[in-house]
Amino acid sequence: MTAPTYPDDDARWNALRAKDRAAQGAFYIGVRTTGIYCVASCGGRPLRKNVDFHATREAARAAGLRACLRCKPDLDRETLRWGVVQTSLGLALIARSDAGLRLVALGDDVESLRGDLETRFKQARLIPDTAGLAADLAAVATLVDHPEQRPDLPLDALGTDLQKAVWAALRRIPAGRTVSYADIAHAIGQPKAFRAVAQACGANPLAVITPCHRVVRSDGGLSGYRWGVARKRALLAREAA
């Protein structure tokens, strides 16, 4: 991975104006008029003449600045790499931590997918790295067309214990089969928790990797799908063929 660099104050100022999430934690912005320091993606709009740049939080504090309450630059920030690939059902965006895949999302345009990524991980440093994630992106694109080929990818989805239990149960559903929310509730040993199961399916962050599209209503109806019912219908049709 090659992270963006900000070699001079002009580059840092441009990152500030763009609210560049890749610059999150790469340097810090000191605002002399307010006495605070921020990260580049902070929503503030200081004048250039009032801004200094600091390489570290320690340097900003040594200059007498205090942490911004809005962007919380004193927090340790996780780095997530992300990239986008074209699939036969639209675009897929993946985001990966050092431990594994944190997000696989489906959509129709990069800006909407990126906006969802930034909303989900507000405090993370987000590094575009399509080249470095080429193997993972190819595996996800292949899985869309060939669901029987389960890629051996490390996963790092964040959730509650119940959500993780549901997601693990979903990954045990073979391609070509559908189950109900009640079936999953029984599978995780909580037969009365079918509503919580439905919520966990809706919160699934790993499209196609964790196949929540294989869960349908007890009457066989498709129910909802975060990435579009049309995609759910298409995925199930492919798996039934």
Which residues are marked as active site?
212
Tell me which residue has tokens 């790469």: 26
Positive or negative CA dihedral for 168, 108, 1, 30? negative
Of 79, 83, 139, 138, give the one whose Cα is nearest residue 113: 83
Distance CA 142, CA 85 (A): 11
Distance CA 213, CA 61 (A): 49
Helices (H), 87-193: 110-120, 134-145, 161-170, 181-187
Give the CA diameter of the chain. Answer: 66
| Size (the chain), residues | 241
Tell me which residue has tokens 């391609």: 175
Tell me which residue has tokens 């595996």: 139
Contact 77, 123 (CB under 8 A): yes
For 39, list phi and psi in degrees, rounded to 5.
-95, 165
